[in-house]
Structure 1
Amino acid sequence: MDFKSDAQINTGSVTSGGGGRGGGLAIGGIGGVIMVVLALLLGLNPGDLLGSTGQNNDPGVVKSECRTGADVQRNPDCRWPAYMTSMEEYWSQALNGFQAPTMVTFSGGVNTACGQASSQVGPFYCPGDNKIYVDTNFIGQLLQQLGTETSYAAEAYIVGHEYGHHIQNLTGVLARSQDGRSGPMSNAVRVELQADCYAGVWFKWTSNNDNDIIDNITQDDLNRIVDAARAVGDDHIQQQSGGGVRPDGWTHGSSQMRKFWVTKGFQTGDPNQCDTFSTDELGQ
């Protein structure tokens, strides 16, 4: 997976730091699932593990250095606005009434409209401010912790998933995950699987688009995407946390379910095929 050297990057798609406090629940924090599982196993309050460190450090994205795809070679941090530029180009064409989100990069902890969050929550989307939050220093550690390798493709899948939550927020679907239920057939899982499918749809589009900033997506990249989807399955995370598999506690879906939907998105290239709410065939 490469970046076209002459393609323009939308530098305004990524900022550093955080926002103010407000309402709304952060969605899609992969690391947060791990921390909550560990807390329950240890008999602790999940909030004690998910508290903010109070830091708001810029991990290194410098806007003036991120103008074209060629800049990613000079400064790898430029890949984050490159991912966002590609996703904005696709979704602006695919969704009526589209409004672009922004990504906030941070290190350690961040204040958001959904409250405070530490790096251990992992990448997440906050519907209260329409922003995707990523600790760019921690994401590689998180992928390794989950037993998969860090790669541009794996990172892009995660960003694409969080971008999918923004699309769900625009369409009104995201609120369905807030009913407090869990389990393989819950709305929480259906929302996460749809976001996976949306990430796969975007990958299909960029792999077929000769004009997009992302270039040369290989079979190995696709394998990395599927492997990342496997790694963030609830059953895999529960096993990694040292406990048994408990489907009644799933909020994101099993490894098999997540692989199924990201693959379906890529194979169809059609966001209309990502309706996880009208079927009980979720790929278990």
Structure 2
Amino acid sequence: MRRRHLARTVLAAISVALVAACSTTLAGKPVSIFADPFRVAGMPATDGPTGLRPDAREPSREVTGTDGGDDDELARQAISDIEEFWEGSYSGVFDGQFTPVEALYSWDANGFDSISFCDSDTYGLVNAGFCHDDNTIGWDRGELVPSLRRAHGEMGVAMVLAHEYGHAVQFQAGLVDEDTPTLVAEQQADCMAGAYMRWVAEDNSPRFTLSTGEGLNNVLAAVISFRDPLLNEDDPEVGVDEHGSAFERLSAFQFGFTDGIAACATIDMREIGQRRGDLPVLLEADESGDWEVSETSVRAIVDAMDIVFAPANPPELTFEPVDCADARPSPPVSFCPATNTIAVELDELAELGAPPHLDDPMGLAAGDNTAYSVLVSRYVQAIQQERGGVALDNAEAALRTACLTGVATTKLSKPVTTPDGNTVALTAGDLDEAVSGILTNGLAASDVNGESVPSGFSRIDAFRVGVLGDADRCFKRFD
């Protein structure tokens, strides 16, 4: 989000800092197959084993250049499993029969292997990819696979390879050609990876398991980590090899997980454009995307919410602790229904909105909008109370809050000028910071007591419903 004074421009972004926290499962009644807080896209929300099965079926593929180590064995198992998925799924959606890629390649980007991939030297190539020229797939076992495994588990590795195999399927099915925009091809492949992960989560895989709780949360974190870097509109890299923001790539992945392979074929520039709407993609030329969390910025955000929602009885804002008769604190921001008050613990909120670590440029998104999205989530609880007819302390309330936080975020895609002369507006990167926070701490997707549902997938899905919808849709879906 950015903020402007009338006299001069000061630019900033709503962002979200990342903290580790636990979510508490709440009581609540089911509503629909996709809105049920205790289900994930129609599947039970569960925790359990995730990763390679102890009794995994033997891999069916050989790898050129392998060192025979555990990382290559994991990748070989993943490719074998992904091919088994496509063997059973391809002809149900596309014409003809599935044909596996010609060969698999492994290299060590830190070494001086004699292996080349797609006519390229693999020294320093920390990547995985599909080579259309010779219909092959390869990966770096030196840096990429171990780092993915450490950060996101074995299914993080499988997710990346499922994405790359999605590119092979695209060409085989005729979904893309050399003129297809990279953005379309990449998000179709994200979608296909989501369809494969659904197959694993449904216990169809003979090699892997995936829980719909923490297991799937780790896969989503891996998707976020491969988002495009945040660019200003005058950066020379703009439009070059565009893959999409974390919000866009998560959306594509969730389409595949929820709706299957057929949904992936519908992703094109028109569909992506509809999803983007007026949401910012690039920072303005002189824009930083950061707005330091302070009493001034918090007041400006609340003032902007007063304007865009225009409640008959706006909530009061305080920076002091509040004794609340009907809700527990949910620091760093709490809403008290009894007094219609939002209480902010400023130091903790500022810590939540800290900028990202420079030594982790491709980790989860961090910044001021993890903080501001939590603030907004407490404001929309006041909106829920004023509307009436809904509980504020159950699982449906948690997801409704996430949804309405998405609605509020989109409303700020158009600048809002507050009475004190600030102009508050969404900036590029804000959505990524919000979904990262929703995945890791769940505060912007929690009920009035700060409790959320265990599935990050469901929390992010609810937020996206709001970003792409309106308040009425949130109340209807999470009643």
Report the TM-score range of the alignment, normalised by the length of the smaller protein.
Answer: 0.5 to 0.7
Amino acid at match of 1:98: F
Asked if 1:265 corresponds to 2:256, the answer is yes
| Structure 1 residue runs without a partner (length 5+) | 18-57, 62-74, 180-185
Which of the pair is proportionally richer in helix? 1
| Structure 2 residue runs without a partner (length 5+) | 1-49, 92-96, 280-479
- Give the structure 2 partner of residue 95 of structure 1: 90
> Computing the radius of gyration over CA atoms, which structure comes out larger, 1 or 2?
2
Provide closer, same or farther for how the CA distance between residues 128 and 154 of structure 1 changes in structure 2, counting only shifts above 3 A: same
- Give the structure 2 partner of residue 182 of structure 1: none
Amino acid at match of 1:232: F
Q: Answer yes or no: is the 8 Å Cα contact 2:200–2:210 preserved in 1.
A: no
Q: Answer yes or no: is the 8 Å Cα contact 2:104–2:138 preserved in 1.
A: yes
Q: CA deviation at 1:14?
A: 3.4
Provide closer, same or farther for how the CA distance between residues 4 and 231 of structure 1 changes in structure 2, counting only shifts above 3 A: closer
Provide closer, same or farther for how the CA distance between residues 205 and 117 of structure 1 changes in structure 2, counting only shifts above 3 A: same
Q: Answer yes or no: is the 8 Å Cα contact 1:235–1:247 preserved in 2.
A: no
Asked if 1:104 corresponds to 2:105, the answer is yes
Q: How does 1:48-127 map to 2 (within 5 A)?
A: 58-61=66-69, 75=70, 77-96=72-91, 97-101=97-101, 102-108=103-109, 110-127=115-132
Q: Helix, strand or coil: the match of 1:191?
A: helix
- Give the structure 2 partner of residue 4 of structure 1: 53
Q: Helix, strand or coil: the match of 1:98?
A: coil
Amino acid at match of 2:53: K
**Distance in 1 between residues matched to 2:251 and 2:123, nearest whole Å:** 30
Q: Answer yes or no: is the 8 Å Cα contact 1:229–1:259 preserved in 2.
A: yes
Q: Answer yes or no: is the 8 Å Cα contact 1:14–1:105 preserved in 2.
A: no
Asked if 1:212 corresponds to 2:206, the answer is yes
- Give the structure 1 partner of residue 274 of structure 2: 281
Q: Answer yes or no: is the 8 Å Cα contact 1:87–1:202 preserved in 2.
A: yes
Higher relative contact order (CA 8 A, sep 6+): 2
**Distance in 1 between residues matched to 2:106 and 2:63, nearest whole Å:** 6
- Give the structure 2 partner of residue 21 of structure 1: none
**Distance in 2 between residues matched to 1:6 and 1:250, nearest whole Å:** 40
**Distance in 2 between residues matched to 1:88 and 1:248, nearest whole Å:** 32
- Give the structure 1 partner of residue 239 of structure 2: 248
Q: Answer yes or no: is the 8 Å Cα contact 1:59–1:137 preserved in 2.
A: no
**Distance in 1 between residues matched to 2:240 and 2:117, nearest whole Å:** 26
**Distance in 1 between residues matched to 2:187 and 2:257, nearest whole Å:** 13
Provide closer, same or farther for how the CA distance between residues 228 and 245 of structure 1 changes in structure 2, counting only shifts above 3 A: farther
Amino acid at match of 1:266: F
Query: How well do the aligned residues superpose, as a CA RMSD in angstroms?
Result: 2.9
**Distance in 2 between residues matched to 1:233 and 1:152, nearest whole Å:** 20
Amino acid at match of 1:248: G
Q: CA deviation at 1:205?
A: 0.7
Q: Answer yes or no: is the 8 Å Cα contact 1:119–1:135 preserved in 2.
A: no
Amino acid at match of 1:105: S
Q: Helix, strand or coil: the match of 2:86?
A: helix
TM-score, with structure 2 as normaliser: 0.41
- Give the structure 2 partner of residue 234 of structure 1: 228
Equivalent residues, number: 214
Amino acid at match of 1:212: P
Provide closer, same or farther for how the CA distance between residues 233 and 211 of structure 1 changes in structure 2, counting only shifts above 3 A: closer
**Distance in 1 between residues matched to 2:215 and 2:104, nearest whole Å:** 23
Q: Answer yes or no: is the 8 Å Cα contact 2:223–2:246 preserved in 1.
A: yes
